[in-house]
Amino acid sequence: MEPVIVWYLRMSVIYFVAGVAVGLGMLLWPSEAGYYLPVHVHLNLLGFMSMMIYGVGYHILPKFSGRHIYSPQIVKVQFWLANAGLIGMAISWPFHVRGDIPIVYTALILSSVISCIAIFLFAINIVKTVKSI
Ligand code: HEM
Ligand code: HEM
């Protein structure tokens, strides 16, 4: 397995542990839960689930379609963007919910855009890899 794919899987389980820990914290400190709900949801769904799908998808889909991955470079760039974007979102989101601070909002928007770019890169790379012609 390519080292970068192993890293997608590693980061996925790290986000899983972090995501459920935040969920547990929300149960233990209900008055704080509202601030951390978006962090919990996105660590689990954009971190654990999506990162797992990126890693497994990049490993399996080229084999299923009998092709090489369209761009191994995109696989690496996307890894850094997906992690930077998600970590930025997870850090800035609770501060943003607590108070409308312009610099925090800018950080949240920037990290969200970075996360979206990572998703678009994944979409392009997978579609170009499995195309039938
Ligand atoms: C030990 C594991 C977990 C705990 C203790 C936990 C805890 C919580 C809590 C306290 C809430 C807020 C519920 C509310 O008051 O509205 C919540 C919401 C949510 N959790 Fe978890 N969670 C866990 C695992 C997961 C996992 C693994 C996922 C996804 C893969 C997940 C996805 C969600 C989503 C999407 C919501 C928002 C639901 C909505 O929109 O109302 N959770 N969780
Ligand atoms: C670039 C990536 C993403 C961005 C910028 C984003 C942004 C948002 C925003 C702004 C909200 C509303 C939060 C609020 O209530 O104030 C939200 C909620 C939610 N998102 Fe995302 N999202 C992203 C990716 C995803 C993905 C990939 C999933 C699932 C696979 C997901 C699942 C959810 C769910 C379940 C909620 C509802 C949580 C709740 O009950 O408050 N998001 N997202």
**What's residue 132's pLDDT?**
59
**Whose alpha carbon is nearest atom 3 of ligand 2?**
112
Atom of ligand 1 nearest to the CA of 30: 10
Instruction: Name the pTM for this structure.
Output: 0.96
**24 CB under 6 A from ligand 1?**
yes
For residue range 69-89, list pLDDT tens digits in order: 999 999 999 999 999 999 999
Q: Which of 16, 40, 41 to mutate to test the pocket of ligand 2 (most atoms within 8 A of CB)?
A: 41
Name the H helices within the chain: 3-28, 30-42, 50-65, 72-98, 102-130
* CA–CA separation, 85 and 106 (whole Å): 13
For residue range 1-55, list pLDDT tens digits in order: 899 999 999 999 999 999 999 999 999 999 999 999 999 999 999 999 999 999 9
Residue type for position 89: M
Both tokens assigned to 15: 């986000």
**What's residue 100's pLDDT?**
83
**What's residue 27's pLDDT?**
98
> Which has the closest alpha carbon to 118: 72, 64, 87, 77?
77
- Packing angle, helices 72-98 and 50-65, rounded to 10: 160
For residue range 91-102, list pLDDT tens digits in order: 999 999 999 899
- For residue 56, what are the contacts with CB-CB under 8 A and spacing of at least 6? 9
